[in-house]
Structure 1
Amino acid sequence: MSLRVGIVGGGQLARMMIAPAVELGVDVRVLAEEAGMSAAIAATATGDYRDLDTVRAFARDVDVITFDHEHVPQHVLRALVEEGVAVHPGPDALFYAQDKLRMRARLAELGMPQPEWAAISDAAGLQAFLDDNGGRAVVKTPRGGYDGKGVRVVGAAEEAADWLAALEPGGQLLVEELVEFTRELAQQVARRPSGAWRSYPVVETVQRDGVCAEVIAPAPRAGQRLIEVAENIGVAIAEGLGVTGMLAVELFETADERLLVNELAMRPHNSGHWSQDGAVTGQFEQHLRAVLDLPLGDTSPRAPWSVMINILGGPVSDSLAARIPAALDAHPGAKVHTYGKSPRPGRKVGHVNLSGDDLDAVVGDARVVAAHFDD
């Protein structure tokens, strides 16, 4: 009998799980928020992931439920588990991906290195944190923010007055020190429900306007100590939070070579797109293996260097598809992945992967290929 995986969410992450599911002989089904989304080819249902009856009906015909995003409400997740549905990652883990304040508190309990942080509910609390941390800080909404949304750098309490005024009674914002980092890194770990895990090489990520623009795998200038520390952090978080499936830990590296945890994602992640073509087992296949409790695949790189360039915005003068022939002609080793999305400024509509022996050449060639999608 075929294994059946239900993916809640019809975005590009679900889309990129389809091909490896077919190769594994896994029957993949998607609950899309609306018709025509990225993963429409596998969408067997359309509906609101926040509605228990909708998700319950979708879950009836699959062996395991997993996710394209972390936004399914806790009451829906816990109802499924109580009814005997296998949910990976489960609600106890996703609890910490859904609320940054709870994530910070739990990581502190686990002894993970983090920026200085506090929960604040008024201007006085925010100003006190600013006074204690160099006069500038990062304010975040605890829920819902991603790709730079729900994040604001402030130098005075009044700069977050609108967010503070919008808080519900008892509500709080997260404030963090503005870390002076030298670069951003990401560590991915795959973990099965039975506890077995595998890690990927730590990678360097380049952000533009709060959105990941480029990824280099493995991270250049990464000594053995950094590699080991990043892996230890990733594994400790995966095990400490009980994550099943893929976990991405976004990290800051500071001038004194410390690593600080920035954010978590409990699903395939932008920082792991390089592995589709650059690793023995890509993150999308690995996620499926993990949530089905199948043996995990080899995470070794296929080449000394791999680079991922995001296609952000995309062409507005013609279609993305019209640009693909010229992009593919620019380099025979390049892989272009598109998401089936209509272009708009700043939107992730695809990415380019390229691997090779010389880092500068790989970065330059990947940028040339990706530039074919710019107007």
Structure 2
Amino acid sequence: MDAATQLPTVGMIGAGQLARMTHQAAIALGQSLKVLAADPAESAAAVATATVLGDYRDVEDLRGFAKGCTVVTFDHEHVPQDALRALVAEGVDVQPRPEALLYAQDKHAMRTRLTALGLPQPRWASVDSIADVEAFGLPCVLKAATGGYDGKGVWMCDTPADAEAVLASGLRLIAEERMALQRELAIQIARSPSGETAAYPVVETVQTGGICTEVIAPAPHLDPDTAAEATRIAAAVATELGVVGMLAVELFQTSHGLFVNELAMRAHNSGHWTIEGAETSQFEQHLRAVLDYPLGSTATAAPYTVMANVLGGEPGGPRLDERLQHLLAEDPAAHVHLYGKAVRPGRKIGHVTVRGDDPALLRHRALRAAKWLQEGE
């Protein structure tokens, strides 16, 4: 609790762009967001006055950070289980709880649990050797059981040589079948400790090089039965795993139906569109959920909203500020979010959101804006 405002203090482990945008949502609610940053130059640390420097892997740093926090939550899933369980044992309100977060940290645990729940997912197996991979069948997808994100820790293997190169890393791996996709979808649902849930519309996500580059909300031409099935899957995962906060369920849409790809128990790139495109942003909703406040409306604010990620470009060309001014002059209705991060080629440095009633036109506008901010032309 904040002594000055008598309103909650939410502690967020991690200080990336998700924490930065959560900080913006916390301001409107009068809440204090305290962030644990590894470096003062991190995205949220640059704007949040309540920033603590420390190592999210160090239980003593976590203990010190948690003091005075009403609840502790995350902008990434990499905090060690033993450290989180130590905090819970000492009375810290950690949301989502470690036993739920495990399924976003460990793909083997996730696949095992979803199998037990009877939820649709690709055929998979734990693999330790080339014999295991060949018995599973090639081509396949090999995934690191822990630590992967934004396409990292995922390998498309066509031959035994491909698989052997991955196995040589010594990582704990699972194999998944390579499915024939129609497209990729995602759905977000919030759940509070009291069990209230609120689901957002199903969105279409577009991946480039393993990184999400576009989100179209809601997913165009999605039949109501498929949308209802996605919502059922998300609600089942949130409830059965005891998730508190935002849950993102990434899905494969195929000719045989929907299959669960990944889970994230935090705000997620597939939900950035909600800042302008929904009645309640995912960032405000996450705060409401972890504090057990009533959840906000997930109704859309426009027929369609399209979000495009802005990636860092090669050095040279107009300064980023010049690019931003040009874009705002050309498309005054575009909503630009820059994360205050140093520009590196391929790094997510922001996103652009546009709203309207023609998804094809919106995609063109959003991608053009993102390309201009990346390349300056």
Which TM-score band (shorter chain)? over 0.9
Give the equivalent residue in structure 2 for 1:123. 130
Q: Is the 8 A contact 2:215 2:273 kept in 1?
A: yes
* CA distance, structure 1, for counterparts of residue 243 and residue 225 of structure 2: 25
In 2, distance between residues paired with 1:90 and 1:47? Answer: 21
Q: Which residue of 1 aligns with 2:8?
A: 3
Q: 1:315–1:373: 8 Å Cα contact kept in structure 2?
A: no
Secondary structure of the residue aligned to 1:152 is: strand
Determine helix, strand or coil for the equivalent of 2:194.
coil
1:353-372 aligned within 5 A: 353-372=353-372
* Alpha-carbon distance in 2 for matches of 1:83, 1:274: 37
Structure 2 match to 1:253: 253
**CA apart distance, 1:241:** 0.8
Secondary structure of 1:128's counterpart equals helix
Matched-pair contact (CA < 8 Å) for 1:327–1:370 = no
Give a deviation string over 1:63-96, Cα, whole Å, max 9, x none: 0001010000001110111111111111011111
**Residue equivalent to 1:203:** 203
- Give 2:64's aligned amino acid: A
- 2:119 and 2:85 mapped to 1: Cα distance? 27
Which of 44, 54, 57 is equivalent to 1:39? 44
- TM-score normalized by the length of structure 2: 0.95
SS at match of 2:125: strand
Residue 92 (structure 2) aligns with: 85
Q: 2:147: which partner in 1?
A: 144
1:240 offset after TM fit, Å? 1.0
CA distance in 1, matches of 2:39, 2:70: 23
Structure 1 unaligned blocks of 5 or more: none
Q: Could you tell me whether the CA contact under 8 Å between 1:5 and 1:27 is conserved in 2?
A: yes
Separation in 1, partners of 2:255, 2:186: 17
Identity of aligned residues (%): 53
Partners of 2:359 and 2:204 lie apart in 1 by 13
CA RMSD of aligned residues (A): 1.2
Q: Normalising by structure 1, what TM-score?
A: 0.95
**8 Å CA contact 2:155, 2:166 repeated in 1:** no
Q: Is the 8 A contact 1:127 1:156 kept in 2?
A: no
Choose 185-194 or 358-367, whichever is displaced more: 358-367
Identify the residue that residue 329 of structure 1 maps to in structure 2. Answer: 329
Aligned twin of 1:291: 290
Matched length: 367
CA distance in 1, matches of 2:91, 2:112: 30
Which secondary structure state, in structure 1, belongs to the residue aligned with residue 25 of structure 2? helix
TM-aligned CA deviation for residue 104 of structure 1: 0.3
Letter in 1 for 2:252: F
> Which letter does structure 2 place at the counterpart of 1:7?
M
- Shift in Å at residue 315 of structure 1? 6.0
2:335–2:352 Cα contact (<8 Å) kept: yes
Partner of 2:268: 269
Please state whether the residue corresponding to 1:72 is helix, strand or coil: coil
Q: Distance in 2 between matches of 1:330 and 1:80?
A: 50
